[in-house]
Structure 1
């Protein structure tokens, strides 16, 4: 037995919204992470003396 059509539509719309949000978030997150990682590692290497590195 199939669920009611309006239930399916609601679930589908929710999936579409969540999917697009997740897609945008993941894309921004990966872009930011690589850019931020480069900046952070450069700052980290500058701020730490070579012997004090963890």
Structure 2
């Protein structure tokens, strides 16, 4: 674990909470209509980048 582990975990959490907010609470049609595979395709590069894997 590096010195910025907590920061990276917080950023990933913020991304996923934003997805949950727009998909399940706000029910924005463009986000609610996404399949799990589409979400994975869209989010994987961003999360990998935040984690330093990309």
TM over 0.5: no
TM-score in terms of structure 2 length: 0.40
**Structure (1 or 2) with the greater helix fraction:** 1
Higher Cα Rg, which structure:
1
Q: Identify the structure with bigger relative contact order (alpha carbons < 8 Å, sequence gap 6+).
A: 2
